[in-house]
């Protein structure tokens, strides 16, 4: 895996180990509540503060959010935001190493930055966390006004998301319940014991020759995509879909991530196969319906919207 080189990089790789442990001293005049409460507001060098937290919280923190200096070449009252590029990397590297040590296995860290250092930072964090544990780069709107004194007026910054272990984080990430309007899209007209479901259309805009294969219905009719549209999957993928059990179909449909439409309805409650140019059902609950659109009924579990 490639990594960044900068002045004194070798020293920075050892900076975490060389940072001494400091004893956290409570200040009674600034304290409130239970002295043994886990909440702390720490004043001091943040590298030393992070090292001081390791004996208490190493491997225990679920979520970390940091807003480091963007290195915008500006001078602020409480910190210098005008570091030479190598100095900025030297500052960030050991701190990111310590922050990773604080995370528990299903924990995540969220970091805001802008264009000044974000791309170098991403490569550095890939080295520290491992590329497989990079979750996403989120763009967020940071300003609403125009800036005419720049070459290009930008209105966004970045939010980098890493996990200690991406697979474990994925299993516990926050889930937002669907709104009533979203939940209303799911019905159970056949009283299926697996719960509500909704039909998902099976075509998409534009013409693509490799995605215009014919589908033969159980009645022998040949169906092709509507004019100006194409099937959402290749013929091979379609055959895999109709061969797959319902749980797999649900997973595949969620990955598709887009609504489709078409000219006839195919509802698969279990599975079906296409062999020799015709569709043969494997279950009496498998049905073919013509209702103006082509749908693949996939969603079965209680619907949920996911957020980071």
For 115-162, the pLDDT digits (tens) are 889 999 999 999 999 999 999 999 988 877 777 777 776 778 999 999
For range 29-38, the mean pLDDT: 81
Domain with CATH 3.40.50 in the chain: 9-173
Joined together, the tokens standing for residue 25 give 């001293």
In this predicted structure, the answer to whether residue 20 has a pLDDT above a threshold of 80 is: yes
Of residues 146 and 12, more confidence is placed in: 12
DSSP labels for the chain?
------TTHHHHHTHHHHSPP-PPPP-GGG--S-TT-S-----S-HHHHHHHHHHHHTTTEEEEEE------SEE-SSSEE---HHHHHHHHHHHHHHHHHHEEEEEEEEEEE-TTTHHHHHHHHHHHH-GGGEEEEEEEE---S--TTSSS---EEEEEEEESSHHHHHHHS-EEEPPHHHHTT-B-TT--TT--B-EEE-EEES--GGG---EE-TTS-EE-PPTTEEESS-HHHHHHHHHS-HHHHHHHHHHH-S----SSEEE-SS-EEEETTEEEESSTT-EEE-SSS-EEE---SPPEEE--
* pLDDT score of 291: 31
For 216-254, the pLDDT digits (tens) are 777 888 888 988 999 988 888 888 877 765 554 444 444
For range 288-302, the mean pLDDT: 37
* pLDDT score of 242: 72
In this predicted structure, the answer to whether residue 257 has a pLDDT above a threshold of 60 is: no
In this predicted structure, the answer to whether residue 42 has a pLDDT above a threshold of 70 is: yes
Joined together, the tokens standing for residue 257 give 């991530």
* Whole-prediction pTM: 0.64
What percent of the chain is modeled with pLDDT above 90? Answer: 31
Q: For the domain bounded by 9-173, which CATH number is listed?
A: 3.40.50
What percent of the chain is modeled with pLDDT above 70? Answer: 76
């Amino acid at each position: 895996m490639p990594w960044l080189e900068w002045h004194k990089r070798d020293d920075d790789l050892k900076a975490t180990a060389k940072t001494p442990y400091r004893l956290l001293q409570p200040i009674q005049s600034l304290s409130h509540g239970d002295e043994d409460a886990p909440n702390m507001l720490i004043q001091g060098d943040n590298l030393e503060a992070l090292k001081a937290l390791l004996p208490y919280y190493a491997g225990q923190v679920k979520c970390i959010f940091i807003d480091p200096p963007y290195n915008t070449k500006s001078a602020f009252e409480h910190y210098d935001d005008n570091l030479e590029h190598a100095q900025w990397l030297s500052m960030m590297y050991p701190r990111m190493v310590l922050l990773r040590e604080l995370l528990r296995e299903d924990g995540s860290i969220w970091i805001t930055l802008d264009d000044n250092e974000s791309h170098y930072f991403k490569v550095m964090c890939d080295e520290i966390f491992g590329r497989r544990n990079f979750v996403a780069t989120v763009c967020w709107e940071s300003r609403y006004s125009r800036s005419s004194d720049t070459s290009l007026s930008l209105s966004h910054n970045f939010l980098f998301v890493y996990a200690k272990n991406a697979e474990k984080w994925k299993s516990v990430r926050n889930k937002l319940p669907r709104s009533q309007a979203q939940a209303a899209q799911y019905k159970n007209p056949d009283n299926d014991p697996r719960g509500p479901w909704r039909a998902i259309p099976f075509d998409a805009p534009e013409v693509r020759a490799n995605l215009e294969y014919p589908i033969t219905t159980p009645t022998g009719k040949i169906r092709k995509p509507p004019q100006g549209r194409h099937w959402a999957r290749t013929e091979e993928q379609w055959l895999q879909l109709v061969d797959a059990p319902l749980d797999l179909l649900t997973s595949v449909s969620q990955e598709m991530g887009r609504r489709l439409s078409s000219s006839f309805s195919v509802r698969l409650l279990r599975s079906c196969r296409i062999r020799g140019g015709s569709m043969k059902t494997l279950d009496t609950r498998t049905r073919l319906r013509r209702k103006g659109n082509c749908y693949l009924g996939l969603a079965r579990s209680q619907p949920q919207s996911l957020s980071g």
